[in-house]
Amino acid sequence: MRVRLFTIIVAGLCCLALSQEAKANRVVANTDVYYDASQNRMVGYTEATSSYFAGMYYCISVTVYLTTEGQWAGNSAWDGCVDGYAYTQATLPYDPNAEYNVDGEHTAEPYYRDDLGALIDYYNFQTYLEGIPVYYPSSYEFLGPGPRRPSIGAILLGTTFALFSQGTRHGQPHHLKVVSDSTTTESCGSKRRKIKLKVVDSAGRYAGRVSVVETFEDPNNPSITYSSIYNSCQNDNYSPYRCAGMDLDGTFTDQLWVGCPSSGGNCGFPDVGSRWWWCPRGRSRVSLTTNLYQVRHGYALVNGNSAFSPGTELY
């Protein structure tokens, strides 16, 4: 069984404990999946290790879910409030044609009480309950920024995940792939295009139900960005939504439309560069694709194309 992180360091630097404490309030989480050839099965596992100081105030628990079409398995484990390390795994029979997904949930449960007996979230790990939940490939380091505040009980820090198919584990989000692309003519005569997309890794394999965001830029000079673009059909400005998660099927839809009513003619948006990003919480966002959008009353073009075939990859 593993010992707490930093135990050896603290033993040698006990006199610096107070100066080190603010830098050591973290939980390191990892999730992975692999093929066990000896038993012809898939193994998904997750683990979490608290730093020495975080282990003084929190118990750590983990839950793993391994899923494929029509099958799932799960398990949970906790560190017993002793050594700051929790590990668990789940297994399923191996199918070379299947895609496997493993999610690992990581929880910190305060056990330190104040003078009145109330549980205290000493390092303010509750911040992971606010805003966009953490959902990140493979490994993540959760940092409790402080200051202390009352706890509400067990704190779900977030989820790390991994995917496996065709003999290998999938990589991190890299670009987008078209799932479907359709255009309709609305009652006012304007063209409305909907492109359903999913995030894939560098090999074109599904990369998880991550959060994405769109930004606008000058198509001739990407260093010039716009917070909004003008829609002359509506005499209004359009701003893209903030970072958001995908639908449950792991896709999101990009809609290109000037709206109704529309004055017709050539009204609409100016030509603009549309850039989509993967925006993981607590990490720098990653560019997935940049495309030229030309959206008017009578057409909606992306890189000069009125429609993409399913499977088209956008970089």
* Structural domain boundaries, residue 251: 175-314
Mark whether 190 and 165 lie in a shared domain: no
Work out the average pLDDT over 279-303.
95
Mark whether 19 and 110 lie in a shared domain: yes
Query: How high is the pLDDT of residue 9?
Result: 27
Amino acid at 190: S
* pLDDT tens-digit readout, 168-216: 999 999 999 999 999 999 999 999 999 999 999 999 999 999 999 999 9
Residue 2 lies in a domain: no
Mark whether 45 and 14 lie in a shared domain: yes
Q: Please check the confidence at residue 2 and state whether its pLDDT lies above 60.
A: no
Query: How high is the pLDDT of residue 149?
Result: 76
Query: How high is the pLDDT of residue 23?
Result: 52
Mark whether 127 and 60 lie in a shared domain: yes
Domain end marker among 143, 169, 195 = 169
Domain end marker among 120, 145, 169 = 169
Angle (nearest 5°) at CA 208 between 94 and 37: 20
Mark whether 36 and 134 lie in a shared domain: yes
Query: How high is the pLDDT of residue 282?
Result: 82
Mark whether 253 and 308 lie in a shared domain: yes
Range among 19-23, 114-118, 285-289 rated most confident: 285-289
Are the C-beta atoms of 138 and 162 separated by less than 8 Å? Answer: yes
Distance between CA atoms of 71 and 81, rounded to whole angstroms? 32
Domain end marker among 169, 189, 215 = 169
* pLDDT tens-digit readout, 133-172: 799 999 999 998 887 777 778 899 999 999 999 999 999 9
- Higher-confidence residue of 142 and 7: namely 142
Mark whether 67 and 181 lie in a shared domain: no
Chain centroid to Cα 177, Å, comes to 17
The number of folded domains in the chain is: 2
Q: Please check the confidence at residue 218 and state whether its pLDDT lies above 60.
A: yes
Mean pLDDT, rounded, of the chain = 90
Distance between CA atoms of 246 and 2, rounded to whole angstroms? 37
| pLDDT more than 90, % of the chain | 76
Range with the lowest mean pLDDT among 125-129, 204-208, 278-282?
A: 125-129
Helix/strand/coil (H/E/C) assignment for every residue in 236-255? EEECCCCCECCCCCCCEEEE
* pLDDT tens-digit readout, 260-272: 998 888 999 999 9
Mark whether 207 and 160 lie in a shared domain: no
Q: Please check the confidence at residue 20 and state whether its pLDDT lies above 50.
A: no
Distance between CA atoms of 171 and 17, rounded to whole angstroms? 39
Mark whether 34 and 48 lie in a shared domain: yes
pLDDT band at 119 (very low <50, low <70, confident <90, very high): confident
Mark whether 16 and 159 lie in a shared domain: yes
7-11 contacts, C-beta under 8 A, 24 or more apart: 7/52, 9/52, 10/52
Alpha-carbon torsion, ordered 123, 126, 130, 136, to 10 deg: 80
Query: How high is the pLDDT of residue 164?
Result: 97
> Considering the entire predicted model, what is its pTM?
0.84
Query: How high is the pLDDT of residue 131?
Result: 64
